Amino acid sequence: MKYLIVGAVAGGASTAARLRRNDENSEIVIFEKGEYISYANCGLPYYIGNVIKNRNALFVQTAASFNKRFNIDVRTMTEVTAINPTTKTITAKNHTTGEIYEESYDKLVLSPGAEPIRPPLPGISNEGIFTLRNVADTDYIKSFVQQKEVKKAVVIGAGFIGLEMAENLHELGLDVTIVEMSNQVLAPVDYPIAAILQQHIRSKGVQIRLSTTVSGFEKTENNLKVLLKDGDIIDADVVILSIGVKPDTKLAIQAGLKIGDAKGIWVNEFLQTSNPDIYAVGDAIEFNNPITNKSMITYLAGPANKQGRICANNIAFGNNQKYNGSINTAIVKVFDMTVATAGTASKHLHQANIKHIVSTTNSGSHAGYYPGAKQMTIQIAFTPEDGRLLSAQIVGFDGVDKRLDILASAIKRNSTIDEITEFEHAYAPPFSSAKDPVNMAGFAAENILQKKSVIYYWNEFDKITSDDILIDVRTKNEYTAGKILNAINIPVDELRSRISEIPKDKKIYIYCLGGLRGYLAQRILTQNGFTSTLNLSGGYQIWDTCTRELNLTNKKVLIDELR
């Protein structure tokens, strides 16, 4: 058998290595149009920022080492320009020698990846405007920053790579501005999680321009001008375009392969394209989202590596292993904070018409009495019928990764809230509390499902009428330091003795700082004959953070209107 693989890095290299482990005797050839076959794509921003100082540390394998270990013919700087499925051949061009030739195959694997979006804006080809997708891009950016005495940087796009680049350029001492056309950073997460991160980014001195679109660029004698559609101009010495990527489907289209609804290469559950002798993996393919059941593409290294392994098994053993899709589990460090997500965000569940409940809790990273505990905010979404977990998002400092991995595992297995209430963790004061933040998220959700708690959200204050009662159950000092307009203060520890002050025929809205004391107050009132009580999910701190961020981006809901 002869296997050809188009594209290396994550998906292609993983497929090749697994194929060799499955089949020692077949011929395997990898074609890679770039210079490198296997490198740490996710580490590129950290090399630019000098966190990773040794450039060679970025390379997982070289062509020579890959060939020596796996006996695979690795052809770098060689681009596959055409596929002929009828004759089962490909056309390749060696960019070093200029040679153009054909190569036959028994099975072909496409792993062309994705290419950065570079819109046709005026001036976009000016010197100093870069995308970051590969090692060559990294070298260009790093060299430019070092040689041109760059002082001001503009990062366009606030996704994972954009935020990592903003952090690393800031760490180099640059004045950094982030421009994002959406009203929040990190599109995969919901607004409250993004709002917390935005405040942290601003605290570092990085400017964020949200709901802002770039209209073009101008080159002056000394720098670049970033032109915004609202008429503003931002000065920059370097611009990083991080506005997204799109699947590279050119070869697939030329070969007559099916392209799916999400504009990626269509594959079946065995990662087989519409041609039975051609498989595909990585950033260029689309598959059904296991939560929404709609076509999706994911641009993550983890799924690409796993797809490569599964693809190789199916090629070698005859479609014996299904690929079950990805829930887009992802994590990013932004300065001192960490944000992680898995599953489908609430806003996207709404778009897919999937009924769900959102619950937000705030917990310490470990036992509060042990030094160094830091807060994390966990938001989960689950089905109202059976409590199936649909998504999890966490923002915090320490321990975010392990909590997200736990919740991602539950989502992947279609598990319910019951599982995370009973999740058994390794507990000692430096690592967690006796009730882990994952448990606490489960407890809050369980209370909602069991109707022991009825909640409302930070953006629903317009539903409160003059006939309703809004009670702040925090301490008097907390209330004095900052409150929501028209709230009366009855601390939870005084509630039983002052319960006569609250009319039973009114709808009672409750809030505290993080949600727990509000829930305790709700239980007291409910068991004392109050029939309509609601507790603010996530508490005052979520409301305050979100409304402040909305105010900064000039949205219609302003702090002053809600206070």
Helix ranges (DSSP H) in 172-241: 191-203
Burial class (CB in 10 A: 0-12, 13-18, 19+), 547: buried
First to last CA, the chain: 72
Quick count: other Cβ atoms within 10 Å of Cβ 481? 9
Quick count: other Cβ atoms within 10 Å of Cβ 301? 17
Give Cα separations from 534 to 429, 504, 510 (angstroms).
Answer: 33, 13, 6
Quick count: other Cβ atoms within 10 Å of Cβ 268? 16
Burial class (CB in 10 A: 0-12, 13-18, 19+), 519: buried
Closest CA to 278 of 15, 10, 14, 9: 15
What's the CA gap between 4 and 2, in Å, rounded?
7
Q: For helices 63-70 and 11-22, what crossing angle results, to 10°?
A: 20
Closest CA to 223 of 124, 118, 148, 138: 148
Quick count: other Cβ atoms within 10 Å of Cβ 368? 12
Closest CA to 192 of 530, 515, 518, 524: 515
State the DSSP string of 90-154: EEEEETTT--EEEEE-SEEEE---EEE-----TTTTSTTEEE-SSHHHHHHHHHHHHHTT--EEE
What's the CA gap between 248 and 401, in Å, rounded?
31
Alpha carbon 227 to its chain centroid, in Å, reads 28
Question: Phi and psi for 182 in degrees, rounded to 5?
Answer: -80, 175
Annotated catalytic residues are 42
What's the CA gap between 286 and 247, in Å, rounded?
9
Question: Phi and psi for 405 in degrees, rounded to 5?
Answer: -60, -40
330-334 vs 285-288, strand pairing mode: unpaired
